[in-house]
Amino acid sequence: MTNPPSSPLASFRVRVTKDHLVFSAAHFITIGDWCERLHGHNWRVAAEVAGPLDQNHFVVDFIALRDELQTLVDGLDHSLLVPLRHPEIRVQAGEKEVEIRFQERRWIIPADECRLLPIAQTTAELLADYLARKLCEQMGAALKGLTSLQVEVEENFGQWAICQLPLAGAVPESAD
């Protein structure tokens, strides 16, 4: 395949957002001493990768990016998102149930309905960061030589949180 070379000033990005890149999940966040009630969202997710074109004139394979993101989204669907790194939320995970405590509040949830996440809060911002890091882990070599990965999480219609990770140089830390 011979194409004229792209402009040295050109930059390339691949973006994946689909109607099925959605997960329904409950969560709560704390603000100081105040704790939200458990509530849920239909979270939408999108991902974008930037970098030079490879020998096939791709930044990254759309299908591989979509499928890896779908795997992550499916893993969060129909669950309670529980932060494990919050300084005041105590989580006791048993074989059959998870006990969650914040100050005087206490929840006991079936273990298979919880997703215990290595984050401090289940905000859209930290979920975007978590998903970006997990996507880096899952895609591994497919992201080699690329410059950035951006993951967007929409909590409510029109309310997006965005995490952009640089890919060149240092590899982002593991999400776990």
pLDDT digits 0-9 by tens, 147-161: 999 999 999 999 999
Q: What angle do CA 119, 96, 21 make, to 5 degrees?
A: 45
Contact 119, 158 (CB under 8 A): no
User: What whole-number distance in Å separates Cα of residue 147 and Cα of residue 83?
Assistant: 29
Residue 108 has pLDDT above 50, yes or no: yes
Contacts of 36 by beta carbon, 8 Å cutoff, 6+ apart: 28, 29, 30
User: What whole-number distance in Å separates Cα of residue 55 and Cα of residue 50?
Assistant: 15
DSSP state of 143: G
Please compute the mean of the pLDDT values over residues 104-123 and round it to a whole number.
98
Query: Residue 127's pLDDT band (boundaries 50, 70, 90)?
Result: very high
Q: How high does pLDDT run on average in the chain?
A: 92
Kindly state the percentage of the chain with pLDDT values over 90: 85
- pLDDT of amino acid 4: 55
Residue 2 has pLDDT above 80, yes or no: no
Please compute the mean of the pLDDT values over residues 56-78 and round it to a whole number.
96
User: What whole-number distance in Å separates Cα of residue 137 and Cα of residue 133?
Assistant: 6
User: What whole-number distance in Å separates Cα of residue 174 and Cα of residue 171?
Assistant: 9
* Domains, in order of start, for the chain: 13-84+117-166 (3.30.479.10)
- pLDDT of amino acid 170: 47
Please compute the mean of the pLDDT values over residues 6-25 and round it to a whole number.
89
Higher pLDDT pick, 8 / 17: 17
The maximal CA–CA distance of the chain, rounded, in angstroms, is 67
- pLDDT of amino acid 154: 97
Chain center to CA of 148: 15
CB atoms near residue 169 (< 10 Å): 6
Please compute the mean of the pLDDT values over residues 80-107 and round it to a whole number.
98
Contact 54, 91 (CB under 8 A): no
User: What whole-number distance in Å separates Cα of residue 39 and Cα of residue 106?
Assistant: 15
